[in-house]
């Protein structure tokens, strides 16, 4: 297999630190040539892009990549097995759904994915080093943000469209005023304290 046909997967998650909603993982499968095309487009760590920049790039990535897949872990799963295991599980499921099968997988963070039968490398700040991870970070971020904005209509007053479930003053005030929703992570400290009160 030539280096240009070598299939590289990048996987990243978003929502790990949020108090509410799922943790979402995306996996992007590319060849080195496609990676160069993504770089030329401006694909980089989603945190370095504006919301408009992410929204512009997100639909372009699947048109260039071999495959893009999403997986997530629900708040109930997060509460049952902890956020670290839930995040790793979501990333592994996203990789498993890729077709064709990657030759190598780059994982954002310090942890390798459990039971993954593909060679893998964990990269701290991988979304700044590997374009496949950067592309995955954009896909995951836009997918989860869109979900939060859609669900905001079902839970008025919480501000999910603005803070996306993260721990802001607005979110804390809404918790005190309205209580927990079914999508809050009850094992997370602010939600746990709310239940105890």
Q: If pLDDT is split at 50, 70 and 90, which confidence band does 5 have?
A: low
Q: Could you give all domains of the chain from N- to C-terminal order, each with its CATH number? A: 3-192 (3.30.420.10)
Q: What is the pLDDT of residue 3?
A: 55
Of 1-15, 78-92, 111-125, 181-195, the one with minimum mean pLDDT is: 1-15
Q: What is the pLDDT of residue 1?
A: 42
Q: How far apart are CA 4 and CA 122, in angstroms?
A: 22
Name residue 104's beta-bridge partners: 8
Q: What is the pLDDT of residue 2?
A: 45
Stretch 105-124: mean pLDDT: 95
Q: Is the pLDDT of residue 197 over 70?
A: no
Q: What is the pLDDT of residue 4?
A: 57
Instruction: Tell me the average pLDDT of the chain.
Output: 95
Q: If pLDDT is split at 50, 70 and 90, which confidence band does 31 have?
A: very high
Q: What is the pLDDT of residue 195?
A: 74
Q: What is the 3-state secondary structure (H, E, C) of 139-169?
A: HHHHHHHHHHHHHHCCCCCCCHHHHCCCCCH
Count CB atoms within 10 A of the CB of residue 12.
Answer: 31
Share of the chain above pLDDT 90, in %: 93
Q: What is the pLDDT of residue 194?
A: 83
pLDDT digits (tens, 9 = 90+) for 43-86: 998 999 999 999 999 999 999 999 999 999 999 999 999 999 99
Q: If pLDDT is split at 50, 70 and 90, which confidence band does 21 have?
A: very high
Q: How far apart are CA 119 and CA 169, in angstroms?
A: 42
pLDDT digits (tens, 9 = 90+) for 32-41: 999 999 999 9
Stretch 107-133: mean pLDDT: 95
Q: What is the pLDDT of residue 97?
A: 97
């Amino acid at each position: 297999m030539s280096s240009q046909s070598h299939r590289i997967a990048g996987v990243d998650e978003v929502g790990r630190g949020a108090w509410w909603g799922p943790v979402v993982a995306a996996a992007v499968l590319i060849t080195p040539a496609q990676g160069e095309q993504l770089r030329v487009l401006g694909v980089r760590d989603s945190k370095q892009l504006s919301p408009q920049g992410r929204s512009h790039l997100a639909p372009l990535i699947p048109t260039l990549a071999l495959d893009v897949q999403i997986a997530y872990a629900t708040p109930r799963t997060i509460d049952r097995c902890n956020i670290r295991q839930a995040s790793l599980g979501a990333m592994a499921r996203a990789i498993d759904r890729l077709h064709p099968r990657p030759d190598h997988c780059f994982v954002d963070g310090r942890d390798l994915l459990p039971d993954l039968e593909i060679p893998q490398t964990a990269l701290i700040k991988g979304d700044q080093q590997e374009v496949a991870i950067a592309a995955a970070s954009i896909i995951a971020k836009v997918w989860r943000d869109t979900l939060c904005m859609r669900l905001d209509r079902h839970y008025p007053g919480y501000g999910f469209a603005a803070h996306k479930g993260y721990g802001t003053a607005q979110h804390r005030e809404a918790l005190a005023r309205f209580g927990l929703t079914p999508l809050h992570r009850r094992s997370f400290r602010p939600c746990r304290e709310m239940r105890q009160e």
